[in-house]
Structure 1
Amino acid sequence: MEKLDIDYKKALKAHCKSLIVDKVKSLEEAMESAQQSANAETRSTAGDKHDTARAMMHLEKEKMGTQLSQNLQLLKVIEEINDVKAETIKPGSLIKTNKGIYYLLISIGQVKFENTNVFVISAQSPIGKIFIRKSADDKVKFNGSEMTIIEHL
């Protein structure tokens, strides 16, 4: 990628949002399936076995509920991010460095987008905190490695 542009940034944001929407859908389907399994579980003469299976399903459903809640919160964060370029790096900034491209959005990790690897990170992550309020030509150090910010959008 030669130069960052707003269309690329908007498309990348939409891509990240779709990744989270897909997770939400799959968690909702898994929770529905777990509920159907729990409803189908009939009481047999082996009552303890039945109770254990129901308890395990309930725990699994609770875990999925927590994940669902976290992913819905991530969607909210994506929606609230402002795409306007600022003088310095802030949440929502797309950052090109000599070591790669970073997007300060939410913690997803490395994402392949339009044949480019982009590190989608949150502003609260250790590296995200380092980027905040920096601008082009600034140097940042992370894990003993120095990076130069080429541009940000």
Structure 2
Amino acid sequence: MDKSKLLNIVRNKLLEKIQKFEKLIEETRASNSDTKSSMGDKYETGREMLQQEINNLQRQLNEALNQQAFLQKVNTESSAKVQKGALVETEKGLFYIAASVGEVICDNRKVMTVSTESPLAKAMAGLTIGQSFSLNNTSHTVKQIW
């Protein structure tokens, strides 16, 4: 499987996510300035709720930006063991250890993207072909690594 192609798919999906968060923050800020009135406490509560929503969206945006920066350092060359940038096949499916953007389709195959901080990636870290690991009472065997 072409890992360069897969990495580009993940980058594009992450870019869409970043743009979505930026748009939501912009729209929420606009609605925050629209709520100016003389309603006293209700007005302050509404503004505070909008500010909390902006802070939440900003946190998610920062997380996505950090993932984007991380993807710049991901190696697309094959590896002999499970590590960041590895594409791992088990009997349960294909897993790409990079940034978590959900399921993507590459070369007509479903690939689940997972963060290096995910329990799955941590359980697989350092394993080689033929080795097994267990996660949530489910056994997995590494069949292939790219």
TM-score using structure 1 length: 0.84
Asked if residue 141 in structure 1 is aligned to residue 134 in structure 2, the reply is yes
Three-state SS of the structure 2 residue aligned to 1:53 is helix
1:24 paired residue number: 18
Displacement of 1:84 after TM fit?
2.3
Question: Whole-Å Cα distance in 1 between the matches of residues 81 and 69 of structure 2?
Answer: 23
Number of aligned pairs? 146
1:60 paired residue number: 53
- Structure 2 portions without partners, runs of 5+: none
Question: Whole-Å Cα distance in 2 between the matches of residues 40 and 49 of structure 1?
Answer: 14
1:36 paired residue number: 30
Question: Whole-Å Cα distance in 1 between the matches of residues 41 and 136 of structure 2?
Answer: 52
Query: Could you say what the CA RMSD is over the residues aligned between the two structures, in angstroms?
Result: 1.8
Question: Whole-Å Cα distance in 1 between the matches of residues 35 and 137 of structure 2?
Answer: 55
Question: Whole-Å Cα distance in 2 between the matches of residues 74 and 54 of structure 1?
Answer: 30
Match of 1:9 among 3, 19, 38: 3
1:90 paired residue number: 83
Larger radius of gyration: 1
Question: Whole-Å Cα distance in 2 between the matches of residues 26 and 107 of structure 1?
Answer: 16
Three-state SS of the structure 2 residue aligned to 1:150 is strand
Three-state SS of the structure 2 residue aligned to 1:96 is strand
Match of 2:69 among 76, 81, 92: 76
1:101 paired residue number: 94
Residues 9 and 104, structure 2, Cα contact 8 Å, conserved in 1: no
1:51 paired residue number: 44
Displacement of 1:114 after TM fit?
4.1
Residues 80 and 145, structure 2, Cα contact 8 Å, conserved in 1: no
Question: Whole-Å Cα distance in 2 between the matches of residues 144 and 16 of structure 1?
Answer: 29
Amino acid at match of 2:7: K
Amino acid at match of 1:52: T
